[in-house]
Amino acid sequence: MAKAGQKNIPVAGKINTRKIKETVLNLVSLLWQDLINFLHFRGKRCKGITASLAGELRNAGIISVSNFLDREQCDVLRMKIEGFAGMHPYTQQLPGGTFVNHRNQNNPQGPDHGMVDVFDIDLSIPEIAFIDDSSVRRILEASTGQEVRPYRRSAYVNKGVLNTRGFHIDNAQPVIYKAFIYLNDVTDESSGPYSLVSGSQRFSPAVYFNLTRNLFLSCYTSTDMPVYNKKKVITALGKAGTLVLSNQNAIHRGLPQQEGKTRVALVFSYLVVSKLSYLHGTIRKTLERKKA
């Protein structure tokens, strides 16, 4: 269980029009997604291990599978990714399509300062494009009963990131699932494992409560989720090669690391699309570009 809590002290602030719009959009999008989930609540029929993982993912919003990659593969990929991050010490768009994002690079007090998020890493390290994720897609299809569209392959490099963003939701429309593949052992909390509030991906009073409350508190962005059931926090520990698959509409965060600790992870994102999903324009363009 995660002990980490939010550091922010709630302060009532002025309500601005931008935040009102954002909150309304977030509430509508979540209600819409909850309706879609309700219509697909049974998922897709399948058997065996896929069926049990799909059921667990539907109920908890998270599953973990060990040995998705073997240790040797993890070591090779981790060294390449760390080398790549080291060669690009600033936020930059690379000509080949990879985007290197040093989160909050100029704000040492900001959340995730020190974390390197490399979007579309497969365009720079080609073997990442060849990792077979068909089993992940089968689980997602079985769990959601909807179409699964692979969206992006990224990498996160965290080295002693002490101040990670607190619990939040991503709240995208359509819903995004992420597969985090640890490339080194993340077997205790000090390494900064992924963490999620079990069950908060489905019609969750805490999510609606936080969204509404944040409107009146200037220290929180709309999707921050400081109020949640601490008893339901799942901390995804695992050895190198462990895959953690998570619904990003659930309340989640990466836990703060301790000085000197490293976590390198591949992060594969998937859009789960039903006929009712509103496919955001930028997402549609990215998918079209990738198909071409």
Ligand X SMILES: O=C(O)CCC(=O)C(=O)O
CB-wise, 58 or 253, nearer to ligand X?
A: 253
Under the binding rule (CB under 6 A), the answer on residue 252 touching ligand X is yes
Residue from 61, 145, 199, 254 binding ligand X (CB under 6 A): 254
Under the binding rule (CB under 6 A), the answer on residue 75 touching ligand X is no
Stretch that binds ligand X, among 59-67, 126-134, 202-210, 250-258 (CB under 6 A): 250-258
Under the binding rule (CB under 6 A), the answer on residue 270 touching ligand X is no
Residue nearest to ligand X (CB): 254
Measure the CA–CA gap between 128 and 78, rounded to whole angstroms.
11
Under the binding rule (CB under 6 A), the answer on residue 194 touching ligand X is yes
CB-wise, 58 or 252, nearer to ligand X?
A: 252
Under the binding rule (CB under 6 A), the answer on residue 156 touching ligand X is yes
Under the binding rule (CB under 6 A), the answer on residue 58 touching ligand X is no
Under the binding rule (CB under 6 A), the answer on residue 253 touching ligand X is yes
Stretch that binds ligand X, among 1-9, 87-95, 209-217, 246-254 (CB under 6 A): 246-254
Closest approach of Cβ 164 to ligand X, in Å? Answer: 7
Long-range contacts of residues 34-40, Cβ cutoff 8 Å, at least 24 apart: 34/202, 34/203, 35/276, 36/146, 36/174, 36/175, 36/274, 36/276, 36/277, 37/202, 37/203, 38/203, 39/274, 39/276, 40/144, 40/145, 40/146, 40/274
Task: List binders of ligand X among 161-190 (CB under 6 A).
Answer: 170, 178
Closest approach of Cβ 127 to ligand X, in Å? Answer: 22
Under the binding rule (CB under 6 A), the answer on residue 226 touching ligand X is no
> What are the two backbone dihedrals, phi and then psi, of residue 68, each rounded to the nearest 5 degrees?
-65, -40
Stretch that binds ligand X, among 31-39, 73-81, 205-213, 247-255 (CB under 6 A): 247-255
Stretch that binds ligand X, among 9-17, 25-33, 86-94, 248-256 (CB under 6 A): 248-256
What value does the CA radius of gyration of the chain take, rounded to a whole number of Å? 18
CB-wise, 111 or 145, nearer to ligand X?
A: 111
Under the binding rule (CB under 6 A), the answer on residue 261 touching ligand X is no
Closest approach of Cβ 12 to ligand X, in Å? Answer: 26
Contact in structure between 119 and 102 (CB atoms under 8 Å)? no
Closest approach of Cβ 64 to ligand X, in Å? Answer: 13
Closest approach of Cβ 95 to ligand X, in Å? Answer: 25
Residues of this chain that bind ligand X (CB under 6 A): 156, 170, 178, 194, 248, 252-254
